[in-house]
Amino acid sequence: MRRSVSIHSRTAETIAIGSELLAGGRTDTNSLFITEALGAIGIEVRFKSIVGDDQSDIAQVVKTACRRARIVILTGGLGPTVDDCTREAVAAITGFRLARRKEALEGMKIRLAQWGRIPNTRQLRQALIPSGATVLPNPVGSAPGFALLWRGTHILALPGVPSEMRAIVQQAVLPYVIAHLERTPSQCRQSLTRIVFHTWGVPEADVDARLKGLVPTRMPVALGLLASPTGVLVSLTTRGGSRLKEGALSSLAEAVRGRLGEWVYAEGDDTMEQVVGRLLRQQRRTVAVAESCTGGLIGQRLTQVPGSSAYVDRVAVCYSNRAKIEMLGVAETLLNEHGAVSRDVAAAMAKGMRERAGVSVALSVTGIAGPGGATETKPIGLVYIGLDGGSDDVMTKECRFHGDRSVIQQRAAQAALDMLRRWLASKGTT
């Protein structure tokens, strides 16, 4: 049997389980959250795997992970359906027999009772936990997680639903990991420090060029870039015990701000919609949105921020020409002359929404998200954004996005919110 090794001296690995993650139906965001959470307590995630809902495949991936990491965190496959086989895979490779655990069953019953339900036969499978494992309570869902030690590696299995996974990580996983660390005082200071910047409107290659030479050679700071449909994320990462002169990381962060300037819209965990919401609240302004190609995505993002009712008045999905005419008062002659996807119609949509809603500012989006609908002069990805702040304060912007339908919609929504952010920033707090 392999000798047990203190987990602080090794790295961690995440395994996302679910065939939908391989087929493109969903994106694995759980691993990123876990990486950030473990990094804050000095555990570095060095590997990430994605595997489908096959017991033998899961078992093989877990075995491989346990040979190279002292902490292996699995997400997904703990539900009640036949394709949820994470429990069985872990039990098969570790030899710990599955048994219905009282604390898991009671927690599940309590959660289902809150929803006015009682567990059926399939849901009772969620109370099956490998013998000797620690049950990790699920404070927001019905499926508990579990943690066990096998051959010197701590295996932690969590539900794949992001909200449930996050709650268990914060309330159970981090305390468990910390409790099982064998650390000296110096090692306790080895947590990762990470400063994150979110940018929009500048390509990854240009961000890279602007930041070239930022971090001096041999300085123990890693500069990272990550491109996505909502922009380029820039990160500065160092380990707490690194020999950095006092204020060096802060100086680098200030240099990033200086080099990227207006392209940085947020830092840390802030999102574009949170930044926009704060500006609207500070300036005591209200907003209404008229959406065509984004289909309500902008409104969904704005209203997912707690307290958004203080500044979001209404959101309308005006997809057809008839909707634009009847709901926003866009002139039929304008649509016939310029087409729905045009700068003029975007301006008319914003103006019509602002006048009907009686808000401080209105935002509009119209475009071609594809895969059909394009013409020789209006290709897929062509999007027009309109903003009307009243008193002839009207702005429009033409954008050309690439990607599939979903990506174009995400980029269009981000660009629209960024236009609103910049407009609000120009108004100050008056």
What is the secondary structure of 38-72 as a DSSP string?
HHTTT--EEEEEEE-S-HHHHHHHHHHHHHH-SEE
Please answer whether residues 395 and 401 qualify as being in contact, where contact means their C-beta atoms are separated by less than 8 angstroms: no
Please answer whether residues 353 and 299 qualify as being in contact, where contact means their C-beta atoms are separated by less than 8 angstroms: no
Residue 144's closest CA among 103, 183, 189?
103
Q: Which pLDDT value is given to residue 226?
A: 86
Contacting residues for 366 by C-beta, under 8 A, at least 6 apart = 292, 293, 340, 341, 342, 345, 346, 349, 383, 384, 386
- Please give the Cα distance from 79 to 126 (Å, whole number): 6
Strand 222-228 with 192-199, pairing: unpaired
Q: What is the C-alpha end-to-end distance of the chain, expressed in Å?
A: 69
pLDDT by residue for the chain (430 residues), tens digit each? 333 334 444 689 999 999 988 886 577 889 989 998 888 888 889 999 999 999 999 999 999 999 999 999 999 999 888 889 999 999 999 999 999 999 999 988 888 888 888 888 888 889 999 999 999 999 988 899 999 999 999 999 999 999 999 999 999 999 999 888 754 444 444 567 889 999 999 999 999 999 999 999 889 898 999 888 999 999 998 865 556 766 888 999 999 999 999 999 999 989 999 999 999 999 999 999 999 999 999 999 999 999 999 999 999 999 999 999 999 999 999 999 999 999 999 999 999 999 999 999 999 999 999 999 999 999 999 999 999 999 989 999 999 999 999 999 999 999 999 999 999 999 985 5
SS3 category, 309: helix
Residue 216's closest CA among 193, 194, 195, 236?
236
Q: Count CA within 13 A, CB hemisphere, residue 189.
A: 6
Q: Which pLDDT value is given to residue 1?
A: 37
Strand 264-267 with 45-51, pairing: unpaired
Could you tell me the two tokens for 64?
């491989």
Please answer whether residues 12 and 71 qualify as being in contact, where contact means their C-beta atoms are separated by less than 8 angstroms: yes
Could you tell me the two tokens for 81?
């359906």
Q: How many residues does the chain have?
A: 430
Q: At what angle do helices 343-357 and 321-328 cross, to 10 degrees?
A: 40
- Please give the Cα distance from 291 to 277 (Å, whole number): 18
* Domains of the chain, earliest start first: 7-179 (3.40.980.10), 192-267 (3.30.70.2860), 272-427 (3.90.950.20)
- Please give the Cα distance from 367 to 292 (Å, whole number): 7
Residue 33's closest CA among 18, 50, 45?
45
Q: Which pLDDT value is given to residue 124?
A: 87
**What's the distance, CA 85 to chain centroid?**
26
- Please give the Cα distance from 150 to 147 (Å, whole number): 10
SS3 category, 200: coil
Strand 394-400 with 382-388, pairing: antiparallel
